[in-house]
Chains A and B, each alone.
Chain A
Amino acid sequence: MSQYSQNPYYPNGGAGGGGGYMTGGSPYGSTSGSPGGFANRGSAAQSLRPVTVKQLFNATQAHTDAEWHIDDIEVGQISLVAQVMSIQAQTTNCVYWLDDGTGRIEARHWVDSSTMQEDGVDPNGIKEHDYIRVMGNLKTFGNKRYVNATHLRVCSDPYEPYFHTLDVCATKLILERGPPNKQGERVAQGTTQAGGISAYQNQTHAATSDQYSHLPPLERAICVFLLEQPPNDEGIHVGNIARAVQGSPNDISAALDKLLDDGHIYTTLDESHYALSV
């Protein structure tokens, strides 16, 4: 790989094997501007992201065949809730002029000629002024952007546009900040007085899977601590657990009993040694 490390088109090229994501068809990598982000993953092409029309018009593309990016994050499929301003049924496709309050865009739905109904009847049961949900891909034709719609349906629930608005907000925040930590955030706040431990725990929260995120903070802290320990048939003594997590002896004892009852941990040598059942 070393001969590529000087090549400006391969910003990650030197990181042995990192080039594996760059398929032969896309030599420009398309995401050179976003180091270490969510970008540069082909799997994004299969994801479904809720968006607004304004985001679609602000989306960028490195070249005409490249993936679309919103805020430097690759988008594949998109989901949009908007009001239908007009419908133009044609022999092979149906064009919906959509307005979601942030802008207007066309959605083009290609219709299988065998399912096309007689004139005037929309194959999806959509009427003008309905709110609809559209799933599909962003495309360009000439200078015009449109959504190549794969699925369309009427929003039967009047709250759906409001849900979609908040869904767009939540998705934007998750992409910026990572997924919410649920109960784990409270653990981190509760242990800030022990600087070293909390700094360490924050790391492990990010590293470990979220399989314990549904537990109360103390039980979660115990599980995270046990997970960090080197594998050991004898288990971990309760004294070591108590030193690692913050809390009164009674609370820790109750938390251990609860974890034991739920099957998250088991006793090993005796009643005071515990190991994680993974």
Chain B
Amino acid sequence: MAEHRSPRVNSARLANFVGQTVRITCKVRKFMNHQAIVECSDGGEVTINMSPAADISDPFIEVIGKVLDSTTIQMMAAINLGNDFDMKIVDFVIEKWHSQQFSSVF
């Protein structure tokens, strides 16, 4: 099952998952050609290499993609989350996800 794992991460945890698939919940800062600069739930900025199929209509999105390096993600898919999303909750969930206490769950 390990090949289908896609943990939720923030920008600080990205470096631990290079080469793997992750999910980041983020706010789009700006689009540039085939890239987007987004702000993660912990406030850090990440560059997304956009997939041509992506249909992004909302400022808050969840990106599923492969981590190229500690600040870049190759997008596989994106989910629109609306105009207003509480990033504090997202970051809280991410920290629980990676805490040792719940290692048998996530």
**Do the two shown chains form a genuine complex with each other?**
yes
- The answer to whether B32 has its CB under 8 Å from any CB of chain A is no
Number of A residues with CB within 8 Å of any CB on chain B? 23
Taking beta carbons and an 8 Å cutoff, which residues of B are in contact with A?
Answer: 1, 4-8, 23, 60, 77, 79, 81-82, 85-86, 89-90, 92-93, 96-97, 102, 104-106
Q: Is A54's CB under 8 angstroms from B105's CB? A: yes
- The answer to whether A129 has its CB under 8 Å from any CB of chain B is yes
Q: Is B96's CB under 8 angstroms from A166's CB? A: yes
Q: Which residues of A contact B79 (CB under 8 A)?
A: 83, 129, 131
Number of A-B contacts (CB under 8 A): 56
For chain B, what secondary structure do more than half of its interface residues adopt (helix, strand, loop), or is it mixed?
Answer: mixed
Q: Kindly list 10 other residue pairs between chains A and B, CB separation below 8 angstroms, not including A52-B105, A101-B6, A159-B89.
A: A54-B1, A83-B79, A101-B23, A101-B106, A104-B1, A129-B79, A159-B86, A162-B90, A165-B97, A169-B105
Given the complex of chains A and B, what is the CA–CA distance between A259 and B37 in angstroms? 59
Given the complex of chains A and B, what is the CA–CA distance between A47 and B47 in angstroms? 44
Among A64-93, those with CB < 8 Å from B are 71, 83
Q: Is A172's CB under 8 angstroms from B102's CB? A: yes
Contact status of A166 and B105, CB under 8 A, knowing A57-B1, A104-B4: no
Residue in B85, B92, B105 whose CB lies within 8 Å of A158: B85
Q: Which residues of A contact B60 (CB under 8 A)?
A: 158
- The answer to whether A219 has its CB under 8 Å from any CB of chain B is no
